[in-house]
Amino acid sequence: MSTSNLESSPEGMALVRLPELSNVEFLKVNQQGKDEFAIHAFQNNIKPEIKLRGSFVEVSPQHFEALEKIRKSLSEHNDESANIDHSGWKRIGEKALNLLKNKNLEKIVLSRRIDLLDGGRISLESSFQQLCKALPHALVYLLYHPEAGMWMGATPELLLKWNNGFIETVSLAGTRRGEGKPNKNWGAKELEEQKLVTDEIAQVFRKNCIPFTLSDPYTFSAGTIEHIKQDFKSQTEVRQSDYKKLLKDLHPTPAVCGRPYEQAVKHILELEPHDRKYYTGYLSIHKDDHLQSFVNLRCAEVHKKSFSFFVGGGWTADSNIEKEWQETKDKYNSTARIFESLLNGG
């Protein structure tokens, strides 16, 4: 974005629909406000935390109109080299499997970017409302900030929640197409992938001396796809001041990065041709003395005339390149189908 556009843009804007709720709220920016909305990058030490402070109010059509006006001032995305086609996916997949089978890694999460061209014909309000309707269990958001650009997403994954002194999080990993058969057995690869995430989160709780309960694994539906999920809940109260430390210890989990962490990040940066930016970072909401953070999945960067979607999946030594390719297509379709239907008059 040009300097002139930055100077004419507001400080930032955010719309939020929390999971299981129907009301959409707008964060009215005001430095004296008590509410906050923040977005953190995948590599938070490289890109700054973007934080908006103010008060959440009921959304109005004028808020969407203001965001549409900002969108017209955004630059267009032209970096086609960052898009991975099937042959490119096969190349990086072979390298990843070699690392995994040689025991350099237990798990790595690889992603790709998919551009939806001609997206300028899709209204932000329509796409946001359709995401809310299709994905009631997700955090749906639309954010603009001069330093981050514009982002929209519908993430199913809670990273951490603090409420009345107790904390909650989830282990969410393993993916398959939804078939309406939640009791169907999962494959060994998906079970192993999810167990790695569960073990890592449990280690963080123990490191911080927080006793917890852990639910049995169950199938969780996220639109047209399903995941394996387990719920963590603290058994003792945790100080609100410890929330940020726990976030730092948890993020990024093996669900979005891999294991061991340092090696996984190193190889992600080597193998992926695109900058993840805020994809697989996290979003934090502080409202009414409640704190919630969500992993930034199923999201897209919004450009003047297009959307750049980010999708990925976890790889272990048992991964199959074609199945991993299909998983990224399924994840793309879980949200992008909504945008494409709007393009086609749906």
Report whether the peptide linkage leading into residue 48 is cis, meaning its omega lies within 30 degrees of zero. no
Is the model's pLDDT at 23 over the cut of 50?
Answer: yes
Q: Which pLDDT score, from 0 to 100, does residue 3 have? A: 35
The single-letter code of the amino acid at 220 is F
Is the model's pLDDT at 1 over the cut of 50?
Answer: no
Break the chain into its structural domains and give their ranges. 3-75+82-343
**Do 180 and 55 touch, CB atoms closer than 8 A?**
no
Q: Beta partners for 159? A: none
- Residue 105 host element (H or E): none
Identify the band that residue 173 occupies on the pLDDT scale cut at 50, 70 and 90: very high
For the domain made up of 3-75+82-343, give the CATH fold. Answer: Anthranilate synthase (3.60.120)
**Measured between alpha carbons, how far is 213 from 293 in angstroms, rounded to an integer?**
20
Using alpha carbons only, give the angle 162, 166, 172 rounded to the nearest 5 degrees: 65
The dihedral sign for the CA sequence 168, 173, 179, 184: negative
Q: Which pLDDT score, from 0 to 100, does residue 179 have? A: 76
Identify the band that residue 345 occupies on the pLDDT scale cut at 50, 70 and 90: low
**Measured between alpha carbons, how far is 215 from 225 in angstroms, rounded to an integer?**
21
Span 316-340, pLDDT tens digits: 999 999 999 999 999 999 888 888 8
Q: Which pLDDT score, from 0 to 100, does residue 81 have? A: 72
Span 249-299, pLDDT tens digits: 999 999 999 999 999 999 999 999 999 999 999 999 999 889 999 999 999
Q: Which pLDDT score, from 0 to 100, does residue 114 have? A: 93
Is the model's pLDDT at 6 over the cut of 70?
Answer: no
Report the pLDDT averaged over residues 139-160.
96
**Measured between alpha carbons, how far is 299 from 273 in angstroms, rounded to an integer?**
18
267: left (phi > 0), else alpha (psi -120 to 50), else beta? Answer: alpha
Top pLDDT among 216 and 43 is at 216
Mean pLDDT (the chain, rounded) = 91
Using alpha carbons only, give the angle 259, 260, 265 rounded to the nearest 5 degrees: 85
Is the model's pLDDT at 8 over the cut of 50?
Answer: no
Identify the band that residue 32 occupies on the pLDDT scale cut at 50, 70 and 90: confident
pTM: 0.93
Span 85-141, pLDDT tens digits: 999 999 999 999 999 999 889 999 999 999 988 888 899 999 999 999 999 999 999
Tokens read off for 43: 């590599």
Q: Which DSSP string do the residues of 16-39 spell out, in sequence order? A: EE-TT----EEEEE-TT-SEEEEE
